Amino acid sequence: MLVSVYVTKDSKFFLYVPFNPKFKNNLELYEDIPTEVKAKFKDGRFIKTINIKEKKLVQISNEEEFNQALANNGFYLFKIDESFVEKQIQQHLKTK
């Protein structure tokens, strides 16, 4: 399974694509994006995400694009820690 991780500059919020239900059990899932998270994007903290139609990475530079990406692509925002990401990477490397 391909898991893509995108992080804000403060390294606290990541987007996973595509959504996998099993993550719901062990991660804090934000289906309704909290105001403080949206504020991060207003402050010029950019992320890149996948444009499903064009199948390419695009940079999100404002709150409107952020909301559009979530709506159009069905992305979910998770609050996770670096150790989880590291474990996922190591797991992926073992299966290669």
Q: Tokens at residue 16, please?
A: 């996973």
Give the SS3 label for residue 27.
Answer: coil
Nearest to 80 by CA among 34, 32, 15: 15
Domain boundaries, the chain: 4-95
Note the pLDDT tens digit of each residue in 35-78.
Answer: 666 665 555 455 566 565 666 666 666 667 766 766 665 555 55
85 backbone dihedrals φ, ψ, rounded to 5°: -60, -45
Question: Mind giving me the DSSP string for 80-95?
Answer: --HHHHHHHHHHHHHH
Mean pLDDT of the chain: 58
75 backbone dihedrals φ, ψ, rounded to 5°: -80, 155
Q: Which of 3-12, 17-26, 50-59 has the highest mean pLDDT?
A: 50-59
- pLDDT score at 87: 72
Distance CA 94, CA 72 (A): 33
